[in-house]
Amino acid sequence: MARGTQGFARHVRLTDPERYQEIFKTGKKVRHPFMGIIALASGLEHPRLGLAVSRKVSRKAVIRNKIKRRIREYFRREQARLRPLDYVVVAYPDAVRADPKAFTEALASLSHKICRLCAKP
């Protein structure tokens, strides 16, 4: 189990429903067949992550939780390199069939794209 700096602490999670709505409405978006990422400047000095993995992705909670764990693990490893934005990762049904390596590569590609997109004025 992750402890100390290896965890997914509350201060790096998006927990406010109003903030989710604001990000969905005004954030910048990038897409891939497995997922999409929406990001918006947060005014904080660290990135925060929100997840949206609906029952449309899979009716089985075990599968949805597996997808969320993969996303959280990527974020945990890469958060020092990410821009200080609020990120919401929205999983799509194709994420269920993605092998772990392809899923992680897609997530890395999207995170680099969204960071570049949000760096533009």
- Quick check: is 2 in a domain? no
Q: Chain centroid to CA 80: how far? A: 14
* CA atoms 54, 66, 50, 117: torsion sign: negative
**Helix, strand, or coil (residue 2):** coil
Q: Is residue 44, in this structure, part of any structural domain at all?
A: yes
For residue 55, pLDDT beyond 60: yes
At 75 the pLDDT is: 93
pLDDT of residue 1: 46
The number of folded domains in the chain is 1
| Residue range(s) defining the domain that contains residue 101 | 17-119
